Amino acid sequence: MRIDSNRRVTALAAAAALAVLPCFGARAEGATSDAAKVASGKKISIAYTLELDDGTQADSNVGEPPLVYQQGANQILPALEQALAGLAVNDSKHVTISPKDGYGDVDPKNVKQVALEEIPEAARKVDAVLIGVDANGNQVPVRVQKVEAEKVTLDLNHPLAGRTLTFDVKILKIE
């Protein structure tokens, strides 16, 4: 595993700029066409706040650029995608996701020990977060769990594994 001490992990990454959704054609007041709803293949812009099961706020992009993703492309948690399907611009939803449907349960097999010299000196402290690269070239978050004289214990579980996640989401734009 290769470790990069200059990278940090967040629950979600926010990107793109907020834009105004143009409205074409006449509709009955309160009616929303299927074309203006969250559906597979559409580009969706959202504002969100993520709270953990203990009530702490883990992440939010409210007041910042929206998170933009393609519905159905597995760019966000599948359970969250499913919960947002069918919503329209300006709709809000409170979504609670169990560990099983989020980042899974904590797996003790994902706790490994490595030699102290394999860890950058600045990251040799408990709770330091590094980015590792797995055998398939995917980036994975790695948390320093314990530092000893000659070895470091690393937790390769996702930082949100084992946590119930609560998202408050507002649909800002649908393309």
* pLDDT tens-digit map of 152-171: 999 999 889 999 999 999 99
Q: Is 59 part of a structural domain of the chain?
A: yes
87 and 166 inside one domain: yes
CB atoms within 10 A of CB 83: 19
Q: Is 29 part of a structural domain of the chain?
A: no
93 and 113 inside one domain: no
109 and 97 inside one domain: no
Given phi > 0 = left and psi -120 to 50 = alpha, else beta, which region is 173? beta
Helix/strand/coil for 143: strand
165 and 97 inside one domain: yes
169 and 85 inside one domain: yes
Residues 41-55: pLDDT tens digits?
Answer: 999 999 999 999 999
Q: Is 118 part of a structural domain of the chain?
A: yes
Domain around 118: 2-6+104-155
Helix/strand/coil for 53: coil
Q: Is 14 part of a structural domain of the chain?
A: no
Domain count for the chain? 2
85 and 117 inside one domain: no
Residues 99-157: pLDDT tens digits?
Answer: 999 999 999 999 999 999 999 999 999 999 999 888 888 888 899 999 999 999 999 99
What is each CA distance from 132 to 4, 6, 91, 129, in whole angstroms?
A: 7, 11, 37, 10
42 and 93 inside one domain: yes
What is each CA distance from 92 to 47, 114, 134, in whole angstroms?
A: 9, 45, 36
90 and 166 inside one domain: yes
**Model pTM score:** 0.71
Please count the CA atoms within 13 angstroms of the CA of 72 that sit on its side-chain side: 8
CATH number, residue 51: 3.10.50.40
Q: What integer pLDDT is reported at residue 8 of this predicted model?
A: 36
The token duo for 48 is 């969100």
Burial class of residue 55 (count of CB atoms within 10 Å of its CB; 0-12, 13-18, 19+): exposed
Q: What integer pLDDT is reported at residue 146 of this predicted model?
A: 97
168 and 93 inside one domain: yes
Position with higher pLDDT, 91 vs 136 = 91
Q: Is 27 part of a structural domain of the chain?
A: no
Q: What integer pLDDT is reported at residue 34 of this predicted model?
A: 66
56 and 140 inside one domain: no
